[in-house]
């Protein structure tokens, strides 16, 4: 039997990628594969990201969702925001399930059992799934180079089970599993796993990038680049969670920009053809980390030393991207130039009583 060539979709790249959320781009598609009608919290970063991502992908898309908020809050009985085919998978099998969907479509198209273009196959795994529980299955799908896009929507914690620390939770981030106390006043001692870089290093044939909900056009372009790439792609996207980060709900996009402007979420792309990193993304300003931290209750317990440690971490990220540090950021890494968060003294008093 003659085999049929697989027809792939090619999505155009949008202009003005470094614009904020308030910038209107007339080239944005009108299709809405992710519509209202779900139970995520107001201002939920992962939901905002889901809408942007699926909009960039368009209607010929299949979504895969391992267990997490984007499954539990979005797939209540008889109520769903997904306007395209969507399937839930066990939290550890995000990669193997997605690989199966991709392999099945390749085979069905070649055998003439599926007429039409190959769909955009996107897996949306939380950081608990992508960085911890499902890491092996995702690595397998990337390694075997199935034609799909795997996204880690990174809200830096296990949100759905009540805000526990994941390997993506930042140093100093308070969660129910990393509470500050007399022994560990910073709450979380470990720095976050460098997940996206691990994926680029271990699977250099894949397109890999980091993105943030604070830069919607850039995010949508990276989704399209990943889908246009023939083979596997991986995106790690900063998606704030107001319940776990404890901030005012209209601030989600602001945090998405601040985290980049503070150097805590470096934005880059891995080019699989040239086999090199592209560090050319430049935020509109560079700020001290304290400006990002003070908007969130999860950092309210930090002492001056912890803030200086985080500034040192951010400075190393800027330097890794080849960016020269302004004097103010070098000084901000010195504990003498930092003060405790306002809530730290009170938190310490409470901690001493438990």
Ligand X SMILES: Cc1ncc(C[n+]2csc(CCOP(=O)(O)OP(=O)(O)O)c2C)c(N)n1
Residues near ligand SF4 (CB under 6 A) are: 40-41, 44, 46, 69, 73, 155, 159-160, 241-244
Cβ contacts of 322 within 8 Å, gap of 6 or more: 279
Residue 91 contact among Mg ion, ligand X, ligand SF4, none, beta carbon within 5 to 8 Å by kind: ligand X
Compute the least distance from the CB of residue 239 to Mg ion, in Å.
8
Q: Which two tokens stand for residue 255?
A: 């945090």
Of 147, 136, 120, nearest in space to 66 by CA: 136
**Cα-based torsion angle of the residue sequence 233, 239, 245, 247 in order, rounded to the nearest 10 degrees:** 170
Angle at 323 between CA 303 and CA 270, to 5 degrees: 105
Strand order in the sheet with 120-126: 86-89, 61-66, 120-126, 149-154, 233-238, 207-212, 269-271, 276-278
Decide if 176 contacts 164 (C-beta within 8 A): yes
According to DSSP, the β-strands at 276-278 and 233-238 are unpaired
Q: Which is nearer to Mg ion, 118 or 299 (CB)?
A: 299
What are phi and psi for residue 256, nearest 5 degrees? Answer: -65, -25
Q: Which is nearer to ligand X, 92 or 226 (CB)?
A: 92
Counting contacts by CB under 5 A, is residue 126 touching Mg ion?
Answer: yes
Residue 92 contact among ligand X, ligand SF4, Mg ion, none, beta carbon within 5 to 8 Å by kind: ligand X
Residue facing ligand X at closest CB distance: 126
Compute the least distance from the CB of residue 154 to Mg ion, in Å.
7
Q: List the one residue from 127, 147, 218, 261 that touches Mg ion (CB under 5 A).
A: 127
Q: Which is nearer to ligand X, 66 or 226 (CB)?
A: 66
Q: Which is nearer to Mg ion, 13 or 42 (CB)?
A: 42
Q: List the one residue from 98, 131, 137, 155 that touches Mg ion (CB under 5 A).
A: 155
Compute the least distance from the CB of residue 156 to ligand X, in Å.
8
Task: Work out the burial of residue 12: count CB atoms within 10 Å of its CB; fewer than 13 is exposed, 13-18 middle, 19 or more buried.
Answer: exposed
Q: Which is nearer to ligand X, 14 or 152 (CB)?
A: 152
Residue 129 contact among ligand X, ligand SF4, Mg ion, none, beta carbon within 5 to 8 Å by kind: ligand X
């Amino acid at each position: 039997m003659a085999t049929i060539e697989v027809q792939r979709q090619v999505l155009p790249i949008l202009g003005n990628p470094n614009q904020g959320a308030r910038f209107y781009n007339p080239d944005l598609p009108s299709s809405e594969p992710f519509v209202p009608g779900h139970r995520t919290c107001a201002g939920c970063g992962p939901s905002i990201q889901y809408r942007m991502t699926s909009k960039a992908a368009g209607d010929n898309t299949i979504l895969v969702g391992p267990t997490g908020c984007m499954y539990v809050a979005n797939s209540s009985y008889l109520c769903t925001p997904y306007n395209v085919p969507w399937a839930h998978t066990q939290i550890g099998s995000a990669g193997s399930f997605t690989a199966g969907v991709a392999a099945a479509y390749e085979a069905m198209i070649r055998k003439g059992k599926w007429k039409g273009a190959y769909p955009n196959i996107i897996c949306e795994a939380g950081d608990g799934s992508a960085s911890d529980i499902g890491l092996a299955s995702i690595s397998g799908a990337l390694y075997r180079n199935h034609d799909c896009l795997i996204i880690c929507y990174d809200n830096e914690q296990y949100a759905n089970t009540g805000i526990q620390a994941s390997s993506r939770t930042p140093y100093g981030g308070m969660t129910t599993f990393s509470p500050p106390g007399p022994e560990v006043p910073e709450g979380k001692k470990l720095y976050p796993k460098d997940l996206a870089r691990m994926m680029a290093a271990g699977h250099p044939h894949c397109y890999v990038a980091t993105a943030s909900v604070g830069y919607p056009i850039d995010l949508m372009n990276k989704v399209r680049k990943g889908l246009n790439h023939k083979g596997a792609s991986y995106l790690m996207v900063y998606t704030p969670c107001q319940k776990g980060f404890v901030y005012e709900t209209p601030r989600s996009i602001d945090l998405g920009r601040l985290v980049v402007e503070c150097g805590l979420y470096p934005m880059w792309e891995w080019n699989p053809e040239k086999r090199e990193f592209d560090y050319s993304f430049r935020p509109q300003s560079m700020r001290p980390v304290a400006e990002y931290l003070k908007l969130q209750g999860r950092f309210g317990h930090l002492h001056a030393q912890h803030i200086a440690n985080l500034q040192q971490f951010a400075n190393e990220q800027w330097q890794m991207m080849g960016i020269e540090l302004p004097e103010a950021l070098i000084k901000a890494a010195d504990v003498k130039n930092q003060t405790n968060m306002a809530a730290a003294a009170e938190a310490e008093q409470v901690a001493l009583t438990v």
